[in-house]
Structure 1
């Protein structure tokens, strides 16, 4: 079972208390963008085997959105952080690199 710690209220919650929100750090297509860019924003997502950054909502708790870094194969969680963060914090990246030295970072 997936267990994540909400960075807002500090509660350790299992997946039954959470709502998945898809890939984190997706760059939005703004006004004036091409049809191709808007289509890519709507439909193109990474689906890696390994380290992935995701959006989650503490649905049955404080209700806030947050981000998590985890391994999609082993379900290992590297950490969670607030949704307003535009890039993974250094401590999350360090935790990933400590356990996955071959990881090359986000594309």
Structure 2
């Protein structure tokens, strides 16, 4: 039974399966956070692993759809959670 005043679960646009409930997805990190070469300093490696931006507003992120197992990029606003598009990694973005 729906709870009064509570919206339905947010739908995320999987570029492989179409819109699905957010509970089927797992956050994979910031898009564009490239892994450094193996011969970097411990400080640089720690920065890659632990230091993240925390943007307020539009952001591009990596997500995985647990149902199909595919990773993809999604653009969303971290303030209002509105999704503006998604794409397979390495492809042009599709609007939400």
**Is TM more than 0.5 here?**
yes
Deviation at 1:2, TM superposition (A): 3.1
- Aligned pairs for 1:3-82 within 5 A: 3-9=11-17, 11-60=18-67, 62-82=68-88
- Size of the alignment, in residue pairs? 87
- Measured in 1, the distance between the counterparts of 2:10 and 2:61 equals 13
- Larger Cα Rg: Structure 1 or Structure 2? 2
Q: Which has the higher strand share?
A: 2
Task: State the alpha-carbon separation in 2 of the partners of residues 41 and 48 from structure 1.
Answer: 17
Which structure 2 residue ranges, 5 or more long, are not aligned? 1-8
SS of the residue aligned with 1:41?
helix
Which contiguous aligned blocks of 4+ residues in structure 1 show a shift greater than 6 angstroms?
Answer: none
User: What CA RMSD, in Å, does the superposition of the two structures yield over aligned residues?
Assistant: 2.0
Structure 1 unmatched runs, 5+: 96-107
Deviation at 1:50, TM superposition (A): 0.3
Higher helix share: 1
